[in-house]
Protein backbone atom coordinates (compact mmCIF):
# COMPACT_ATOMS: atom_id res chain seq x y z
CA UNK A 1 0.00 0.00 0.00
CA UNK A 2 1.29 3.47 -0.87
CA UNK A 3 0.30 7.02 -0.06
CA UNK A 4 -0.51 9.68 -2.66
CA UNK A 5 3.21 10.46 -3.14
CA UNK A 6 4.01 6.82 -3.91
CA UNK A 7 5.86 6.11 -0.65
CA UNK A 8 5.09 2.65 0.75
CA UNK A 9 3.36 2.94 4.14
CA UNK A 10 6.07 0.80 5.75
CA UNK A 11 8.71 3.34 4.67
CA UNK A 12 6.90 6.52 5.69
CA UNK A 13 8.62 8.57 8.39
CA UNK A 14 6.78 11.12 10.49
CA UNK A 15 9.71 12.29 12.62
CA UNK A 16 13.34 12.82 11.68
CA UNK A 17 15.73 9.96 12.28
CA UNK A 18 17.68 12.10 14.77
CA UNK A 19 14.55 12.86 16.81
CA UNK A 20 13.39 9.24 16.80
CA UNK A 21 16.85 8.05 17.87
CA UNK A 22 16.81 10.66 20.66
CA UNK A 23 13.38 9.47 21.86
CA UNK A 24 14.51 5.83 21.87
CA UNK A 25 17.82 6.54 23.62
CA UNK A 26 16.28 8.87 26.23
CA UNK A 27 13.97 6.12 27.49
CA UNK A 28 17.03 3.93 28.17
CA UNK A 29 19.01 6.63 30.02
CA UNK A 30 19.09 5.20 33.55
CA UNK A 31 20.97 8.28 34.82
CA UNK A 32 17.67 10.18 34.65
CA UNK A 33 14.44 9.66 36.57
CA UNK A 34 11.71 7.66 34.91
CA UNK A 35 9.64 10.85 34.47
CA UNK A 36 12.56 12.57 32.76
CA UNK A 37 13.07 9.56 30.51
CA UNK A 38 9.40 9.56 29.49
CA UNK A 39 9.08 13.35 29.00
CA UNK A 40 10.27 13.56 25.37
CA UNK A 41 7.91 10.80 24.26
CA UNK A 42 5.10 12.36 26.27
CA UNK A 43 5.67 15.69 24.51
CA UNK A 44 5.43 14.03 21.10
CA UNK A 45 2.19 12.23 21.95
CA UNK A 46 0.70 15.39 23.43
CA UNK A 47 1.45 17.25 20.19
CA UNK A 48 0.14 14.54 17.85
CA UNK A 49 -3.59 14.04 18.35
CA UNK A 50 -4.37 11.50 15.62
CA UNK A 51 -4.22 7.90 16.93
CA UNK A 52 -3.04 6.51 13.57
CA UNK A 53 -0.12 8.95 13.52
CA UNK A 54 0.68 8.14 17.15
CA UNK A 55 0.82 4.43 16.26
CA UNK A 56 3.04 5.15 13.24
CA UNK A 57 5.39 7.28 15.36
CA UNK A 58 5.53 4.59 18.03
CA UNK A 59 6.41 1.99 15.36
CA UNK A 60 9.11 4.30 14.04
CA UNK A 61 10.52 4.60 17.59
CA UNK A 62 10.46 0.80 18.07
CA UNK A 63 12.55 0.43 14.92
CA UNK A 64 15.04 2.85 16.54
CA UNK A 65 15.26 0.78 19.74
CA UNK A 66 12.26 1.70 21.89
CA UNK A 67 11.03 -1.46 23.69
CA UNK A 68 7.86 -2.65 21.92
CA UNK A 69 6.21 -3.51 25.24
CA UNK A 70 6.05 0.21 25.93
CA UNK A 71 3.07 0.35 23.56
CA UNK A 72 0.55 0.38 26.45
CA UNK A 73 2.57 3.25 27.98
CA UNK A 74 2.37 5.14 24.68
CA UNK A 75 -1.40 4.65 24.60
CA UNK A 76 -1.68 5.96 28.17
CA UNK A 77 0.49 8.98 27.27
CA UNK A 78 -1.66 9.66 24.22
CA UNK A 79 -4.73 9.62 26.49
CA UNK A 80 -3.02 11.96 28.94
CA UNK A 81 -2.87 9.39 31.74
CA UNK A 82 0.59 9.98 33.19
CA UNK A 83 0.00 7.75 36.24
CA UNK A 84 -0.76 4.65 34.17
CA UNK A 85 2.02 5.52 31.70
CA UNK A 86 4.53 5.77 34.54
CA UNK A 87 3.54 2.43 36.05
CA UNK A 88 3.73 0.70 32.66
CA UNK A 89 7.13 2.26 31.88
CA UNK A 90 8.40 1.25 35.31
CA UNK A 91 7.30 -2.36 34.73
CA UNK A 92 9.22 -2.53 31.46
CA UNK A 93 12.30 -0.46 32.30
CA UNK A 94 12.97 -1.08 36.00
CA UNK A 95 13.44 -4.43 37.71
CA UNK A 96 11.01 -4.87 40.61
CA UNK A 97 12.49 -4.78 44.12
CA UNK A 98 13.57 -8.25 45.18
CA UNK A 99 13.41 -9.70 41.68
CA UNK A 100 15.95 -12.18 40.40
CA UNK A 101 17.47 -9.39 38.30
CA UNK A 102 18.55 -7.51 41.40
CA UNK A 103 17.85 -3.92 42.31
CA UNK A 104 16.21 -1.21 40.24
CA UNK A 105 19.72 -0.19 39.14
CA UNK A 106 19.96 -3.40 37.10
CA UNK A 107 18.97 -3.49 33.44
CA UNK A 108 15.45 -4.74 32.71
CA UNK A 109 14.68 -8.29 31.67
CA UNK A 110 15.88 -8.74 28.07
CA UNK A 111 12.57 -10.21 26.91
CA UNK A 112 10.90 -6.88 27.66
CA UNK A 113 13.31 -5.07 25.37
CA UNK A 114 13.25 -7.54 22.46
CA UNK A 115 12.28 -6.32 19.03
CA UNK A 116 8.81 -6.19 17.52
CA UNK A 117 6.76 -9.36 17.62
CA UNK A 118 6.05 -10.66 14.14
CA UNK A 119 2.94 -12.46 12.94
CA UNK A 120 3.22 -16.08 14.01
CA UNK A 121 5.00 -15.22 17.26
CA UNK A 122 1.90 -15.82 19.36
CA UNK A 123 3.70 -17.81 22.05
CA UNK A 124 6.46 -15.21 22.27
CA UNK A 125 3.87 -12.43 22.54
CA UNK A 126 2.04 -14.34 25.27
CA UNK A 127 5.29 -14.93 27.17
CA UNK A 128 6.23 -11.25 27.01
CA UNK A 129 2.73 -10.14 28.00
CA UNK A 130 2.82 -12.54 30.94
CA UNK A 131 6.16 -11.09 31.98
CA UNK A 132 4.71 -7.56 31.77
CA UNK A 133 1.74 -8.63 33.95
CA UNK A 134 4.09 -10.19 36.49
CA UNK A 135 6.32 -7.13 36.66
CA UNK A 136 3.34 -4.77 36.99
CA UNK A 137 2.06 -6.85 39.91
CA UNK A 138 5.54 -7.02 41.52
CA UNK A 139 5.91 -3.24 41.32
CA UNK A 140 2.38 -2.85 42.65
CA UNK A 141 3.19 -5.06 45.64
CA UNK A 142 6.28 -2.97 46.37
CA UNK A 143 4.23 0.25 46.20
CA UNK A 144 1.25 -0.87 48.25
CA UNK A 145 2.91 -2.81 51.06
CA UNK A 146 2.24 -6.30 49.73
CA UNK A 147 -1.53 -6.28 49.05
CA UNK A 148 -1.80 -8.80 46.19
CA UNK A 149 -5.50 -8.13 45.50
CA UNK A 150 -4.85 -4.39 45.16
CA UNK A 151 -1.84 -5.02 42.92
CA UNK A 152 -3.87 -7.28 40.61
CA UNK A 153 -6.75 -4.79 40.44
CA UNK A 154 -4.31 -1.95 39.65
CA UNK A 155 -2.58 -4.04 36.96
CA UNK A 156 -5.89 -4.95 35.35
CA UNK A 157 -6.98 -1.32 35.39
CA UNK A 158 -3.66 -0.11 33.96
CA UNK A 159 -3.81 -2.55 31.07
CA UNK A 160 -7.52 -2.71 30.31
CA UNK A 161 -9.05 0.36 31.90
CA UNK A 162 -12.22 0.00 33.89
CA UNK A 163 -14.29 -1.78 31.28
CA UNK A 164 -16.39 -4.69 32.53
CA UNK A 165 -15.08 -8.22 32.11
CA UNK A 166 -16.95 -9.92 29.28
CA UNK A 167 -17.54 -13.63 28.72
CA UNK A 168 -14.43 -15.07 27.10
CA UNK A 169 -12.10 -12.46 28.61
CA UNK A 170 -8.99 -13.75 30.31
CA UNK A 171 -9.29 -13.00 34.01
CA UNK A 172 -6.30 -12.87 36.30
CA UNK A 173 -6.49 -15.34 39.20
User: Looking at per-residue confidence, does 106 or 74 come out higher?
Assistant: 74
Confidence grade of residue 53 (pLDDT, cut at 50, 70, 90): confident
Closest CA to 26 of 40, 42, 43: 40
Closest CA to 67 of 45, 88, 96: 88
Instruction: Concatenate the DSSP letters of all residues of 93-140 into one string.
Output: HSPPTTBTTBSTTSPPPHHHH--PPPTT-HHHHHHHHHHHHHHHHHHH
Residue 36 has pLDDT above 80, yes or no: yes
Q: What is the mean pLDDT of the chain?
A: 77
Q: In whole angstroms, what is the distance from residue 37 CA to residue 145 CA? A: 26
Greatest extent of the chain over all pairs of C-alpha atoms, in Å: 56
Mean pLDDT of 50-68: 87
Environment class of 50 (CB within 10 Å of its CB; exposed 0-12, middle 13-18, buried 19+): exposed
User: 3-class DSSP state for residue 2?
Assistant: strand
Instruction: Name residues whose C-beta falls within 8 Å of residue 94's C-beta, 6 or more positions apart in sequence.
Output: 34, 104, 108, 139
Q: Are the C-beta atoms of residues 131 and 109 closer than 8 Å to each other?
A: yes
Q: Given this model, what pLDDT does residue 137 score?
A: 92
Higher pLDDT, 106 or 70: 70
Helix 82-93 × helix 71-78 angle, to 10°: 160
Amino acid sequence: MMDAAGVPVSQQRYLSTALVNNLASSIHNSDRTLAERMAPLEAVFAAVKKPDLQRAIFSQCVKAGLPPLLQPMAVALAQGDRGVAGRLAEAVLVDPPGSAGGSSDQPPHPDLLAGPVQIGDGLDRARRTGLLFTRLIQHGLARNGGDLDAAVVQTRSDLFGNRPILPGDIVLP
